[in-house]
Amino acid sequence: MFMCSPSFSGPTRLNDTMRPFLIDTDPGIDDALALLLAFGSPECRVEAITTVAGNVEVPFCTRNARRVVAVAAPIRPPRIVEGAAGPLARPLRTATHYHGADGLGDALPSEAPSPAPAPGSAARTLVETARRVGRMLTVVAIGPLTNVAQALELDATALADIGRLVVMGGAVDVPGNVTPTAEFNMHVDPEAADRVVAAGLPLELVPLDVTQRVILARAALDAALERAPRRLADFVSRCTRFAFRVEAAADHPGLTLHDPLAVGVALAPSFVTFERVRLEIGADGETRRRPGPPNCRVALAVEADRFVPWFLERLCRASSS
């Protein structure tokens, strides 16, 4: 049985060793878990959260980001900025069958807590943060890449100068999860994905090849949450219940930690093994290998048995940042 560390005594002070993160997200149940992982990790400080339409429509995504921040209660709350309401060139496809109509399993109050969203656009927030922080910045994109593509149009040079762009998306050597060849985030906005992959960014892709191997069993989560702060434990238990039911109905052994793995790789790259690859984005969001100079690093192997307990220990902390 895995338990949270009893030695953790609450939030730590901000310090210069924390790496600044900007998380672009479409919460989403596993997105919420990924955000909580970031807030429970002392190595990073979440500077901003930008939301994008994907798992649900963008107003729900923004409200869900506010819900997570309210539960995590970080010492310095990040800016939350609402982003693109739909893909660049096609209608929005959502995943409410898995995440519920509100994105968090339809199990939470409908009112949105503080903090309120900040004014401005997500694309401009990405650019402004990249200009200010530069190579120290890690951008973690765990939804469709619409905001990132729009930021490239504003200032591609600023985005090229960040330290890392870690993206959850793609299905390189495995089948897709929405079509036989495409993963959801890439499929929702392939035009945006194509622009991002072709832009010469410090891109690290965390695709289904690794995320589908990282499974969280309900019993392991319940055991970990026994030692979590009560408000956090209640939030996580309630918003994951819907997804666990969906997984059980499909005879799956647990929750697939797609987005938490991407945040985990941003924090600790040693969980995965990367290969330098040249990728091309297809019309439906396929991530195809192509000959030629590499344009990204792709995670193709993962230490799932090491990642899951590490994730659970950090998930059930109070906020560290």
List active site positions.
Answer: 258
103/62 Cα distance (integer angstroms): 10
219/223 Cα distance (integer angstroms): 6
Tally of CB atoms within 10 A around 289:
13
Contacts of 123 (CB under 8 A, 6+ apart): 83, 84, 147, 150, 151, 153, 154
Closest CA to 47 of 24, 79, 83, 15: 79
Q: Which residue has the tokens 């289904």?
A: 208
Tally of CB atoms within 10 A around 217:
13
How many Cα atoms occupy the beta-carbon half-sphere of 237 within 13 Å?
Answer: 15
H or E, element range at 79:
strand 79-82
Q: Which DSSP string do the residues of 206-246 spell out, in sequence order?
A: E-HHHHTT-EE-HHHHHHHHTTS-HHHHHHHHHHHHHHHHH
Tokens standing for residue 114: 């503080």
